[in-house]
Chains A and B, each alone.
Chain A
Amino acid sequence: MKKGLLRFGVAVFIVLASIVVIDLAVGKAMDHMLPQISNQGATGKTYFSLYDVNTPVVIVGSSRASHHYVTQQIEDSIGLPAYNVARDGCFFSHNSCVVNSIIDRYSPKLIIWENCCEYLYEGVEDPLVNLYPYYKTNKWVTTTIKEELPWKEYIRLNSKIYQYNSVLHRILMRYRSRNSHTKETEKGYEPLTPKELIKKLELEPEKLTGTTLSETKVARFDSILTRAQEKGIKMVIVDSPRYFIRDSINISRDKMEEISKKHGMLFIDNTHLPFFMEHSEMFTDPTHMNSNGAEIYSELFLNQIHDYVSTIKN
């Protein structure tokens, strides 16, 4: 029996040791490939937002930002190069890391941060999975993951393969065609083509998912705005239109506004703009506007920030 147990132990050890070796090798290969696909596809866009974007105007946020802010219109209006680094499924904590990493590298003239008014609540969905590849290399990512996720997750993140879980194939495919890469977005803006919906959208009340503020998130938001203020970066914190009737009592939004004002940043809650509440055809779903809606909204938004940004060209 002792012999059998020892033999079993050796077999398990061989498999585990091989996995460790493969893990390191695959991790090294991925670490090498990732920078070379910067701004190619969704995975490359996150790398770009953390390490490569260098325009004076940057738009940060989730899918709502990537679909709602027409970069060209913003460039034309402000008169400075702009880039929309927003990505689907990336919310407050993700974008905190992006903004912090940008501030570390340079001082843009303006950061437009699309921030859902609910983001400062405890328990609001806030995935960090798209930042896993940077767990060991980006201090903001390391800190945020340790603050936000359970111990199990950052134990798992010691595996390089796990850091690249479910994106290995995407990186490989992008890397293979990296030399023939063509631009897929309009400076990061990803228009949603208007289409006829199977079921017409109806204005329905949307319940807030949170009730209490997250102290960690409030502190993080405050700290980012402090850093931006110190570096003379102007920021617009904005929540774009939704096709929902939302609760008017929202302490997360109030807190966001309070912190923004404290640091001299512009806060705009556009969730209930009457024009969009009357035009369901501008939406593809209750939270995303199509390209028609985005163009009208971008124009309206640029008028809203006109005075605030009038000085940044100097």
Chain B
Amino acid sequence: MTFQTLEYLIFLPITFILYWTLCRGNKTLQNGLIVIASLIFYGWWDWRFLGLLLLTAFSTFVAGDMMGKTEDPKKRKMISVGAILLNIGILFFFKYFNFFVQAFIDAFSLFGADVEVSTLNILLPVGISFYTFSALSYSIDVYQKKVEPTKDLLAYLAYVMFFPSILSGPISRAQKTLPQYFETRTFNYDMAIAACKAILIGAVMKLCLADRLAIYVNTVYSNIDQHNGTTLFFSSILYTIQIYADFAGYSLMAIGSGKLFGIELPTNFIRPYFAKTVTDFWRRWHISLTTWFRDYIYFPLGGNRCSKARWMLNTMIVFTVSGLWHGAAYTFLIWGAFHGACMVIERQVYGNKIKEISDKFSIANLLRLSLTFLIVNFAWIFFRVNDLNDVMTIFKKIFTEHGELFVDIDTFLLGFLAMAIVFIYDFIKEKDLNIHLLSSKYIVVRYITAILLTFYILAFGVLNGGSFIYFQF
């Protein structure tokens, strides 16, 4: 069950009604319902992995509880490391075992040695990278005494397993999100309306834009040999837009679903393609993951309060790990390292002035924006392809094989219409213009906009399309 399915369209209102009627005014019942609903939601995909989810939730809860019972720093450290090793171990086994076995074989074959190690046929539990990170943030925060260990198991389970964010985030952080489960939630009309707006916009982004562009992008990328450089370059741009619409659309639907239950999930995207530098891009793209890496890897490594060389190394480590987090493949590794390298180069070029780039319209800013888009677009090619051979073919063709663009009129017409809607929505938000139709002061305008967007989804959305791109991570 995912957000764009009919099952969710049935599941969400039922859970919502039960939550605000049967469980009204009772924190335990509210958390209990969230846990049950989350187990159904997750188990709908594959019930066999529920055990894994519960293991992560219980192990981190117990670790937190044990850390709370001792003041001995050594013991606390051991418990914390134990929880991290267990959960990272599970993540590693399911996500990276085959990759590292293959890398091991590849490394030996470079020296002419034939090593026979068999890989395993492992199914990746959906959402494992996301809920593991949410759970680990609790263990680490308790260890660092940023968060009090909780005794409320139900609240903690609700925090780790909250169904809107379990599959692909936003990655919740114990410090900010967990306390919400300790309070009884009361219904807030404005919050519920904001939730519906977020879900609506998210659905337009996913169903009308991302899935529409996916039809073209998948056609081209599944037959790279038969397309020229012009089409491949154009397709790479469409993928850049597709992945944003897909993941930001998903995040908005998750945040909106959370709001419906009175839970505020962290913001995940702030219009990333308006970024003027790659550094700025990472302040806007997948924020919940970026801040996780910042707080739990980058800062402990020394952040930028160290020598320049060390800072460069820290940046490269964080981005390479971020690449690997996305997927167990060389293409993701290169994607991450490339972004890290871009940030290092930017720092060299701009120095400390990087923070002072204004938001005002200027030719220089327009050029910066375009350059950043092109760099990010270039990197997304690594993200989309199946292997490095495809990357080589694409780049070769882009620079040498120009020709007629492969045209799919429906994708262009409907995709560009949706693109215009999303661009206008983002532009208004970015420039903080007070002309948002869904938030208009006129009630009629608000209703008409909501109705038209719903109509647009029904009429032009790809309602039987694929899953969300980030589910594979």
A: residues with CB less than 8 A from B are: 1, 4-5, 7-8, 11-12, 14-15, 18-19, 22-23, 26, 129, 152-153, 155-156, 159, 161-162, 164-166, 168-169, 197-199, 285
Contact = CB atoms under 8 A, between A and B. Distances in A.
B189 A166 contact: no
Contacts, number: 73
Contacts of B228: 198
Interface string B214-258: 000000000001111000000000000000000000000000000
A1 B189 CA distance: 8
A12 B196 contact: yes
B451 A161 contact: no
Interface string B185-196: 011110011001
Interface of B: 5-7, 20, 24, 186-189, 192-193, 196, 225-228, 401, 403, 410, 413-414, 447, 450-451, 454-455, 458-464
B227 to A, nearest CB: 7
A165 B20 CA distance: 34
A15 B226 contact: no
Contacts of A285: 226
Contacts of B187: 1, 4-5, 8
Contacts of B462: 166
A4 B458 contact: no
17 contacts: A1-B187, A4-B188, A5-B189, A7-B189, A8-B193, A15-B450, A15-B454, A19-B455, A19-B458, A153-B464, A161-B455, A161-B458, A165-B463, A166-B410, A169-B413, A169-B460, A198-B403
A206 to B, nearest CB: 15
Contacts of A162: 458, 463
B458 A198 contact: no
Main secondary structure on A side of the interface with B: helix
Given A12-B196, A199-B225, A1 B459 contact: no
Contacts of B188: 4
A270 to B, nearest CB: 24
A15 B447 contact: yes
B190 to A, nearest CB: 9
Rank and list the top 5 A-B pairs by shortest CB-CB distance, nearest first. Answer: A4-B189, A152-B6, A161-B458, A1-B187, A18-B451
A184 to B, nearest CB: 14
B226 A19 contact: no
A166 B417 CA distance: 12
A166 B460 contact: yes
Nearest to A199: B225
B451 A19 contact: yes
A15 B451 contact: yes
Contacts of A199: 225-226
A198 B227 contact: yes
A91 to B, nearest CB: 16
A284 to B, nearest CB: 10
A206 B256 CA distance: 46
B200 to A, nearest CB: 9
Given A8-B192, A12-B196, A156 B6 contact: yes
A229 B462 CA distance: 40
Contacts of A11: 193
Contacts of A164: 459
Contact of B459 (A5, A161, A198): A161
Contact of A197 (B189, B196, B226, B413): B226
A171 B225 CA distance: 35
A111 B192 CA distance: 58
A164 B464 CA distance: 14
Nearest to B192: A8
A7 B190 CA distance: 10
